Amino acid sequence: MLRRRIVSLRLEEVGARCSLSRHDGPGAPACRPTASRPRLAPRPLAAIACSLLLLTGCSTANGNDGLVGDDAAPTLGTPSFSGPWAADFTTMYQRAESDFVRAVLQDEVITDQELSETRDRFAECLSAYAITDVVHDDDGSFSFTEPEGADYDTVNDQVDGCGKDSGEEQISALHSWIRRNPDNQDENTIMAACLVRKGVVAPSYSADEYAEDDADDDFPYADPSAGEEAHRVCDRDPLGLDE
Same domain, 226 and 194: yes
The distance from CA 55 to its chain's CA centroid, rounded to whole angstroms, is 10
SS3 per residue for 106-143: CCCCCCHHHHHHHHHHHHHHHHCCCCEEEEECCCCCEE
pLDDT of residue 137: 84
Same domain, 125 and 171: yes
What's the chain's Rg over C-alpha atoms? 18
- CA proximity to 93, closest of 117, 71, 118, 68: 68
Q: Does some domain include residue 43?
A: no
pLDDT of residue 167: 93
Burial class of 112 by CB neighbour count within 10 A (0 to 12, 13 to 18, 19+): exposed
Q: Is the pTM of this model over 0.75?
A: no
- CA proximity to 37, closest of 224, 238, 243: 224
Q: Does some domain include residue 136?
A: yes
Same domain, 150 and 117: yes
DSSP element (H, E) containing 164: helix 152-166
pLDDT tens, per residue, the chain with 243 residues: 666 555 444 444 443 333 332 223 333 333 322 222 333 333 333 333 333 233 333 333 333 333 333 334 445 589 999 999 999 999 999 999 899 999 999 999 999 999 999 999 999 999 999 999 999 987 778 899 999 999 989 999 999 999 999 999 999 989 999 999 999 999 999 999 999 999 999 999 999 999 999 999 999 999 999 999 999 999 999 999 987
Domain closes at, from 180, 202, 217: 180
Tell me the residue range of the domain where 228 lies: 187-236
Number of domains in the chain: 2
The distance from CA 228 to its chain's CA centroid, rounded to whole angstroms, is 19
pLDDT in tens, 53-86: 333 333 333 333 333 333 344 455 899 999 999 9
- The β-bridge partners of 143 are 4, 135
Q: Does some domain include residue 9?
A: no
Q: State how far the Cα of 64 lies from the Cα of 26, in Å rounded to an integer.
A: 36
pLDDT of residue 28: 32
- Residues 68-82 as b/e (b if ≥16 CB within 10 A, e otherwise) read beeeeebeeebeebe
pLDDT of residue 115: 95
Q: Does some domain include residue 32?
A: no
Within 10 angstroms of residue 170's Cβ, the number of other Cβ atoms is 29
pLDDT of residue 3: 61
DSSP element (H, E) containing 5: strand 2-5
Same domain, 168 and 222: no
Same domain, 166 and 197: no
